[in-house]
């Protein structure tokens, strides 16, 4: 991101945080614009360019009441149907085109020895990203502004691997997901280091339709272990691939957004952004 894009994103994040805290009061455009020190006209234009919808609509997408409605009214049909068929019914969404391959026990145990890992940095609507890949697929993606810290976190995941700063086709395919036009979206392959339980949870997350939400308890039921809500939460917290594995679509059963490795405000932003785009396709 250039400096102006950083400023714009920071303003949007501040507005989202304000909306999230004050949604019960349903703040109007003037109130939100004043909070981020912009005129209502300028704020509405900036917000709509970023989110693809108006601040008023976005407020709806991220309100707790709307989250509860998604969980109670829609999930019973859309989520279950999508889980069984792999289809969301709202267009060619990326969930259908993400496949996970777990690393072998040897790769898991030896910290990536003999693995060659390419990595690069990219921009997204939600901040800067580091994305890394092996010859088999994307192995890591995280929101991170500090490049040195990002590389340090990556190397901790695979302490014995060989690293090269290089953008490859595997990474490019994954980054296409942030574009508005998904008609040419290629299949995305992930090569992940995780326990059998973690990989099973991550695979289940891929079947939550874009624009919909699930709960920790529901995911536990889907993997056949209804008492494992806490373990599911731990697996989500170990998700090595931001956004592509949509742990942001899992919220608390109360409707509260809940925690997120890359920040609750960012999670709220992603939920609203996806809701806006899904709504525009229906």
**Pairwise CA distance, residues 134 & 169, whole Å:** 11
Identify the three-state secondary structure at position 125.
Answer: coil
**Is the separation of the CB atoms in 95 and 202 below 8 Å?**
no
CA distance 54 to 241: 29
Separation CA 202–CA 184 (nearest Å): 24
Among all chains, which residue has been given the structure tokens 């991170």?
A: 144
Distance CA 275, CA 50 (A): 13
Partner residues linked to 121 by β-bridges: 130
| Adjacent-strand bridge partners of 124 | 127
Which sign, positive or negative, has the C-alpha torsion 12, 15, 20, 24?
negative
Q: Which two tokens stand for residue 181?
A: 């036009």
Q: Name the H helices within 23-126.
A: 29-35, 40-51, 55-62, 64-69, 80-85, 105-109
Give CA–CA dist 130/124, Å, rounded.
10
Residues designated catalytic: 247
**DSSP codes, 175-229:** HGGGSS--TTPPPEEEEE---HHHHHHHHHHTTSPTT--EEHHHHHHHTT-TT-H
């Amino acid at each position: 991101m250039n400096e102006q894009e950083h400023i714009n994103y920071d303003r949007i994040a501040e507005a989202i945080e304000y909306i999230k805290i004050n949604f019960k009061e349903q703040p109007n455009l003037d109130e939100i614009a004043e909070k981020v020190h912009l005129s209502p006209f300028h704020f509405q234009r900036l917000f709509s360019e970023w989110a693809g919808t108006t601040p008023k609509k976005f407020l709806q997408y991220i309100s707790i009441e709307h989250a509860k409605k998604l969980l109670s009214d829609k999930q019973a049909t859309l989520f279950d149907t999508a889980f069984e068929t792999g289809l969301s019914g709202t267009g060619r969404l990326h969930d259908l085109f993400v496949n996970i391959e777990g690393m072998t026990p040897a790769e898991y145990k030896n910290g990536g020895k003999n693995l060659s890992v390419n990595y690069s940095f990219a921009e997204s609507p939600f901040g800067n990203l580091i994305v890394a890949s092996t010859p088999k697929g994307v192995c890591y993606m995280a929101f991170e502004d500090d490049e040195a810290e990002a590389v340090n976190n990556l190397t901790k995941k695979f302490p014995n691997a060989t690293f090269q700063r290089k953008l490859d086709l595997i990474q490019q395919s994954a980054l296409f997901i942030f574009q508005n036009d998904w008609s040419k979206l290629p299949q995305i392959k992930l090569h992940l280091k995780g326990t059998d339980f973690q990989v099973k949870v991550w695979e289940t997350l891929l079947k939550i339709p874009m624009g919909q939400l699930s709960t920790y308890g529901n995911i536990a039921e889907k993997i056949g272990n209804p008492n494992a809500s806490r373990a599911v939460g731990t697996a989500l917290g170990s998700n090595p691939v931001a956004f592509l594995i949509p742990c942001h679509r899992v919220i608390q059963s109360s409707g509260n957004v809940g925690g997120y490795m890359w920040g609750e405000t960012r999670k709220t932003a992603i939920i609203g952004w996806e809701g806006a785009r899904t709504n525009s396709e229906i």
